[in-house]
Structure 1
Amino acid sequence: MPELKCTVQTCMHNKDFYCDLNAITVGGKSARKAAETSCDSFEERKSGTYSNVTGEAGPTSKIDCKATECQYNKECQCHAGKISVEGSQACSCDETECATFSCGCA
């Protein structure tokens, strides 16, 4: 599983730059650059709300990747050693991105 670092402090799953989900989904089926991807697992942290996931946030996560043009995508799974999800003040998943995305297109 890739190491996952997340800067999206407005996500209810973010705990000190780690994700408390065991798996996330990166969207962007037709993405050709990082800005066209998103963390589809993003859920905005509302005032006074916390994740309903009881597990601890860890440094790795399974990543279901819909960005089929990414060089790290193999059979819809991310095979990068590390990824970074960014969008520090995001209010929706469209305001996040997989900054590690690298187009493997010709």
Structure 2
Amino acid sequence: MNKLKCNAVNCLYNYDALCSAETIKVQGEQAMGSGATFCGTFSSKNIGNYVSSITNMNYGGAAKQLFNTASMEPHVFCDAVNCTYNTNQLCNADDVQIQNEVSTSAEQTECQTFYPR
């Protein structure tokens, strides 16, 4: 699991700049830099998306976060094969940063942790 910070405030998984998803997928198979990556798990805040995302929520992490006892650490799958942290489509970075405060779609986010091989 990775510690994941996210500033995509329009994403329903964003909980105090932490990701409340159980798993996420960073996309951008041919990316050569962070600008060509994006969080494929991003889901805009609306009632329909809340209902459809119930099975991917990290409820235990969210509950612990209420008491500041742990940070949420989702499993991070990654398509960015040119990233040094990608090992068999799993991110092995200790900390992952997803960026873009004004994002309203997955393609407007990016993985700032991307580091080219």
Q: TM-score, normalised by structure 2?
A: 0.81
State the Cα deviation string for residues 49-90 of structure 1 (Å, max 9, x = none).
773436143421100000010000000000001010011110
Native 8 Å contact 1:9 1:17 kept in 2: yes
Distance 1:35 1:27 in 2: 11
Distance 2:2 2:98 in 1: 12
Change (3 A) 1:50 1:93: closer
Task: Identify unmatched segments of 5+ residues in structure 2.
Answer: 63-70
Which residue of the partner structure matches residue 11 of structure 1?
11
Q: TM-score, normalised by structure 1?
A: 0.89
- Over 2 Å off, 4+ runs: 48-54, 56-59
Native 8 Å contact 2:43 2:49 kept in 1: no
Which residue of the partner structure matches residue 88 of structure 1?
101
- Tell me the SS of whatever aligns to 1:4: strand
CA RMSD of aligned residues (A): 1.7
Larger % of helix: which? 2
Task: Identify unmatched segments of 5+ residues in structure 1.
Answer: none
Identity of aligned residues (%): 28
